[in-house]
Structure 1
Amino acid sequence: MRNFLDFEQPIADLEGKIEELRHLADDGEVNIADEIGKLQTKAEKLLRQTYTKLTPWQKVKVARHPDRPHFVDYVHGLIEDFTPLAGDRGFAEDCAILGGMGRFRGHSCVVIGHEKGHDTQSRLKHNFGSARPEGYRKAIRLMELADRFNLPVITLVDTAGAYPGVGAEERGQAEAIARSTEKCLDIKVPLISAIIGEGGSGGAIALATGDSVLMLEHAIYSVISPEGCASILWRSAEHAQAAAEALRLTAQDLLEHKIIDGIVPEPLGGAHRDPAAAIQSMGEALEAELEKVMNMDGGARRARRREKFLAIGRDDH
């Protein structure tokens, strides 16, 4: 059964009527194909109208939709012979960040990303995609491995932010995030990043400091969540909608300000309506960006990447 967001209720009502009519048609009592066709056309038109004028707060809800494809889905759909690699070789395994080696469109590569989980049990296992320091240290280890063996790196970002718990802070959360960001800027191999859902705070940028940063059409990317921003500025998370407007967290805003390099279209109604199509669309975009930097000299590639991020915010950028 499809999960509908609150602003999708008119669409849900129409699709509910279509399902009712289909059940009647299956019984063979009446021929109502024409009526079903009209309702489908009406529902598709309403869906298109809704998704072409989403507000930033609505995009936040779409980016967080539980049925959006996650890291494991992208690996299953795009990466052949994936071999997961675990542990930071220092403290523990963190399941909020997964990674390993595989083949992407003929290229051997290292793939790293946040995993939120699909149900209660897996969400608890993956800590809802909020990594602890050992997750970022594992990412550093895998990036070093990629650099040593001249393998391109693909990172898939989907996190509300790094885990803010006491244990994480005691084990050096801020330092781990900074080191991971530094490692992104230090490796000489290609690094292509994609925001596939939420890109929250330093927990996102620690994996997203790439040669090219892509975003799905309805993904979000921000220094802080709308709720966190509202809690600081208004002392209440009730103002999250206003915060979302002010944060300029949509892919369209970020492309305009040259924070990201490209927007990957989603299927009509969002990636959660057709995960397979969204995954393949992202695969095409990742391949195109990878081809742009594959043949560059490693030192020149690293220098270009560093300058790209140093230039953000400059008047001439």
Structure 2
Amino acid sequence: MADDTYLLDFEKPLYELEQKLDEMRTLNQDHAEDLSAEIEALEERVEQLRVSIYRNLTRWQRVQIARHPQRPYTLDHIEALTENFVELHGDRRFGDDRAIVGGFAQFQGAQYGHRDRTVMIMGHQKGRDTKERKFRRFGMPNPEGYRKAERLMKMAAKFNKPVVTLLDTPGAYPGMEAEERGQAEAIARNLFEMARLPVPIIVVVIGEGASGGALGLGVGDRVLMLENAWYSVIAPESCSQILWRSWDYKEDAARALKLTATDLVDVNVIDEIVPEPVGGAHRDPKATFNAVGNAIGAALNTLSDRPTDTLLDDRLARFDRIGAYDQRTAAESPVGS
């Protein structure tokens, strides 16, 4: 049964039914009367309700799952998918931003069908408790975080090792000090450098992918996305505040933004949807890590032997295709469709 500490509103009917099922199992153990048939029927109802809820989620509900505090974060993925991770610190200009972590590691390639195991892996890191969230700044990087990532990517290129980035941020840090140190320039520089980095880049959206905060690590040859993650130019609440002057329309904003994996694979923003366990990645982290590892391994196998010129040409062509549409079809479509 799910932990009710972090229960989402739409999960309450399922939780109540699971409670009844647990009570019936306890009753069956404490009494001589056999309730096996009733328990089996209730188990079937629970499973049907679980599938019905999680296979028909709204966009806003997926945003809520992507923000679940028990969802696996970047360091969880690194621990599960790699060995001998050596974290590297600092941007060599200002300081070390703990909202972005990264370093060389041995990807468990044999397990996931990949040959060369050494990768540069990095991503946004949130916190589990109040102290760590403050330490990590809720996964919102300052400019030195992006400059650290740039330094590590150039180091990977120097040693001819592929780069894997994991996106999970509500956005770049919006403080005055970040602007003073050149937040926009740092993100723009990363876009420029990633576009021409002469090694394969695999991007995985594992949770929240908000605005330039995510895009600063998001230029790659393959962009993968977990089933219940979201990726957008703006968070639904912020969009609601701008358009309606209120956060009350965040669900409408989420629908309009079309920020889910299913939406984005249709318009070539992402290349592949990585499936999650029913209920979200936090329900079965091991299954999530296996799915992510298999997707990364397959992408690395595809890209490892590609000549550098071809790799860079294909990378730019991939981003050129985003946003393309048929003008005639657009003109014929009814407004608001």
TM-score (normalizing by structure 2): 0.90
Q: Which residue of 2 aligns with 1:21?
A: 24
SS in 1 for 2:101: strand
- 1:239-296 CA-partner distances (Å, limit 9, x unpaired): 1111001001010010111111010111111111111111111110111111111100
CA distance, structure 1, for counterparts of residue 96 and residue 30 of structure 2:
53
CA distance, structure 1, for counterparts of residue 20 and residue 171 of structure 2:
39
Q: Which residue of 2 aligns with 1:277?
A: 287
Q: Which residue of 1 aligns with 2:102?
A: 99
Quick one: structure 1 residues 243 and 294, their matched pair in 2 at CA, closer, same or farther if it must change by over 3 Å?
same
* Rg comparison, structure with higher value: 2
Confirm or deny that 1:160 pairs with 2:170.
Answer: yes
Conserved 8 A contact 2:274-2:295? yes
- 1:50-104 CA-partner distances (Å, limit 9, x unpaired): 1111111111111111111110110111011111111111111111111011011
Residue identity matched to 2:182: G
Residue identity matched to 2:193: K
Give the CA deviation at 1:302. 1.4
CA distance, structure 2, for counterparts of residue 285 and residue 119 of structure 1:
30
CA distance, structure 1, for counterparts of residue 122 and residue 267 of structure 2:
26
Match of 1:89 among 92, 95, 111: 92
Match of 2:43 among 23, 40, 44: 40
Residue identity matched to 2:39: I
Matches within 5 A, 1:266-305: 266-305=276-315
Q: Which residue of 1 aligns with 2:216?
A: 206
Match of 1:130 among 126, 132, 140: 140
Structure 2 unaligned residues grouped into runs of 5+: 110-115, 328-337
Q: Which residue of 2 aligns with 1:7?
A: 10
CA distance, structure 1, for counterparts of residue 77 and residue 266 of structure 2:
27
- 1:97-150 CA-partner distances (Å, limit 9, x unpaired): 110110111510100101112222221211111111111011000000000000
Structure 1 unaligned residues grouped into runs of 5+: none
SS in 2 for 1:199: strand
Quick one: structure 1 residues 147 and 30, their matched pair in 2 at CA, closer, same or farther if it must change by over 3 Å?
farther
Give the CA deviation at 1:34. 4.0
Give the CA deviation at 1:31. 4.9
CA distance, structure 2, for counterparts of residue 226 and residue 52 of structure 1:
21
CA distance, structure 2, for counterparts of residue 23 and residue 89 of structure 1:
60
Residue identity matched to 2:65: V
- 1:136-194 CA-partner distances (Å, limit 9, x unpaired): 01100000000000000000100111010111111111111111111211211000001
Match of 1:79 among 70, 79, 82: 82
CA distance, structure 1, for counterparts of residue 135 and residue 35 of structure 2:
47
How many residues align? The count is 317
Q: Which residue of 2 aligns with 1:309?
A: 319
Quick one: structure 1 residues 124 and 30, their matched pair in 2 at CA, closer, same or farther if it must change by over 3 Å?
farther
Confirm or deny that 1:146 pairs with 2:156.
Answer: yes
CA distance, structure 1, for counterparts of residue 176 and residue 243 of structure 2:
24
Conserved 8 A contact 2:268-2:321? no
Give the CA deviation at 1:310. 2.2
SS in 2 for 1:269: coil
| Root mean square deviation of aligned Cα | 1.7
CA distance, structure 2, for counterparts of residue 192 and residue 113 of structure 1:
12
Identity %: 49
TM-score (normalizing by structure 1): 0.96
Residue identity matched to 2:282: H
Q: Which residue of 2 aligns with 1:233?
A: 243
Q: Which residue of 2 aligns with 1:258?
A: 268
